[in-house]
Every structure is written in structure tokens, then in C-alpha cells.
Amino acid sequence: MYQKTVLPNGVRVVSEAIPHFHSVSLGIWINTGSRDETAPENGLAHFLEHMAFKGTGRRNTYDLAREIDQLGGAANAFTTKESTCFHGKVLADQLPRLFDLLGDIVLNPMYDNDDLEKERQVILQEICTLEDTPDEYVHDLFSRWFWGDSAFGRPIMGDAQTVNRYSRRLLLDYRQAHYHPDRLVIAAAGRLQHETLLDLAAATFGDFLNGNRFPGREAVCTFPGHHHLERDLEQVHLVLGGKAPGSGESSRFVAILLNLILGGNMSSRLFQEVRENRGLCYSIYSFLHCFSDTGVLGVGAAVGPENLGILLDTVREEISKMQHQEVSPAELQAAQDYSRASFYLSAEDSDNRMMRLAKNEINFGHYISYEEIINRLEAVTPKQIMAMAQDWLNLDNWHTVSLGPLR
């Protein structure tokens, strides 16, 4: 059962009670991420997430690590372009202890200067790890060039230049400017009672105030084109993509199915034609990312340099087919069945339920049932798929990024 309460200071508390679960997942979400940073601040939201685990007024770094282990579950955090989340999963009777721990690191981080210097080195190594992982790094490069020189295009972790400039004062200023009660969502799913969660939230966050006004977000722009970064690798890593519907647009349901049919699973057109029929490469897929006000739909692959040309031709051919021929009812039904199964199977996990609660609240301000999503997907027609392919799979508006042994 879904329930929602808004505290007097604007903090939103949402829960979904699932009595037959033994676990409960808790997330404390702040609706701020890398797209809310200025150029000198790039990477600060991610840095703040790291520093939260380096000690509070009540717990040092070792205390936090030991208590997380003693809970027997898991506790972690992540930063995206639009959100920062501190989350954990424990047995139901450990919810108060988990809430106290997560609330402490969100509200009372120390940002000790010695710890800041240590974590600076950790994040610089994290950036190096990304750059040493070409199948991930090519997506980072695509984001930079497709979205241009804007907060949306900059890397979530920042770069070595910005990370080396961070100071305790800069962290405190950013936190004061972006961590607001009305941008904070507390979400929990599993074996719990909403009243218990509400009592914990009120006791911990009821006095949380921040008088600064959130600066707002800039609209995003996209830039078609091509970039190549030469690197001594065995394969060329490739990402090409264009703009897609945002999470608030009803056409996203059409985009979900178009993505699946194009390259979203093993029976998709790209996987079958590029890998199974032609044996051009091992890795080929399409992807769809929906943000609050925009999205991106694209194709990723890793291929030997000798096969790059024919792979690109094949991708163009498959896109052209989707633009000029309606998908068959059987192919559409297969994608709808896959989506339905994926949604319901993900509902078996309390982490997925918690994250879905929070994202719905942040993006829409209310709960959206699984049944409503399935009904919207099952209402999509072949004509809608072809119309979206003609509109959104326009290669003239796409950007292509390649990384590997090409001049």
C-alpha cells in the first residue's frame, strides 16, 4: 500500500508497505545532481556524496563502516545528473538504526580537511578507472559532446582540474545552495508501517531548514556531429544517439518499446542482424535514458576496426527499416510482453520499489501504479512506433562518438 506525507518544512515521505517481504529499503533523495553545478563546481555533488561517509559529529569513518556491516544489509550512495541518493537495505526490525545512520550522514557531515584530501585522491583514481574502461568512457565522451559545454554535458565526477580545486568552503557553499527541504524525498519500501517511517522522518528531518532559494535548471541543448578520440585499443568503442522524450512525456512509452525492438534485448533487430546473422561484433545494443525534461536514445557497440564501416551501414539499414515499415503485431507484442515481465520481476525487489517510489515523486509528484504503466505500453501501436522512428531516429540530428585505433 502506497502512502505519502509532507512534513511542515516540505520534506516528502513516501512509502509502500509490502508485508510479505522480510526486508525494507530506505532512500534519502536530494533532487540535485551534476546538471545543477556551475563549471567551477563540476563534480561537487558527487564529491559531497563521498564526503558524507567520511565522518559526522557522532561517527567517524570507521564507526560508519562498522555499523553498516553490523546491520547485515547494505548502505551506499550514488549521484546522477539530477539526483543524489543515500540508501540502504536491511531486515525490517533494523529500519530505525538504518534511518539514524543515513540521516546522520546527510545532515551532519564534518567535511574534515584531512579526509577531504584523502577523498580527493580516491575520486581522482575513480576518474582514471573510468578512463581505463573504454566501454564506459565512450558514453562519458558522448554525453560531453552531445549535450555540449553545459552542466548537462559535463561528467558527474568532474575532472582532475575541478576536483583539485575543491575546498571545504566550496563544499559547504554548494550544500547550502542545493540541499533544501522541499527537494528532499524520503522513500521506503518493504515490511514497514508508514506511521513508523513518518515518526523517524519527523524526528530526524523535521527541523531541517535552508532559507536559500534553489537556483533552478537551464534548458538543455543538443549538438549533432562526430567526434573521435584515438586510443591504442583492440576495438573501436562507438556510441551514436539523439534526443528522446523526457520522463514526463507520454511518448516515452512508445520510446521504451522502440528501444527494445531496435536493440534492447537478445531478440532485438540489431542484436540479431549485427551479431547473430553477420557476426560483426560481440557487443551491440540500444539504450534509452529519460531525464526530467529530456532524454537520449542511442546505439552502442564495440567492434574491430575492419568491421566498423559495415557495422555502421547495418545500423543505418535497421533504422531505415523502422522508419519506413511498420513493425509486425507479433514483434510489438513480444516487446510488450518483455516489458511487462521486466516491470513485474523488478517489483520483487524492495530496492527497485523504493527507487521507483522516489523517482515518481520527484518527477511527477505522485505514485504511478505498475498496472497503469503496463496499460500504457500495451496501448502502443505499430503506427506510433514507425512515427517515432521517423521523428526521433533522424541521423542528421544524432551525434557519433568513437574511441579506439582509428586515425
Answer for the pair 118, 112: CB distance below 8 angstroms, yes or no.
no
Question: 3-state DSSP call for residue 241?
Answer: strand
Report the distance separating Cα 247 and Cα 42, nearest Å: 24
What's the distance, CA 72 to chain centroid? 26
Residue 88: which residues within 8 A CB-CB, separation 6 or more?
A: 25, 26, 68, 71, 73, 74, 75, 76, 98, 101, 102
DSSP structural state of residue 60? B
Helix (H) or strand (E) holding 3: strand 2-6
Helix axes of 134-146 and 113-131: crossing angle, nearest 10 degrees: 100
- Catalytic member of 16, 41, 49, 119: 49
Report the largest interatomic distance among the alpha carbons of the chain, rounded to a whole angstrom.
63
Answer for the pair 9, 18: CB distance below 8 angstroms, yes or no.
no
Answer for the pair 402, 265: CB distance below 8 angstroms, yes or no.
no
Query: Is 117 designated active site?
Result: no
Plot region of 342 (φ>0 → left; ψ -120 to 50 → alpha; else → beta): alpha
DSSP structural state of residue 366? S
Report the distance separating Cα 244 and Cα 255, nearest Å: 8
Give me the sign of the Cα torsion angle 97, 103, 106, 107. negative
User: Which strands make up the sheet holding 2-6, listed edge to edge?
Assistant: 2-6, 12-17, 184-190, 23-30, 84-91, 74-79
Terminal-residue alpha carbon distance, the chain: 58
Active-site amino acid positions: 49
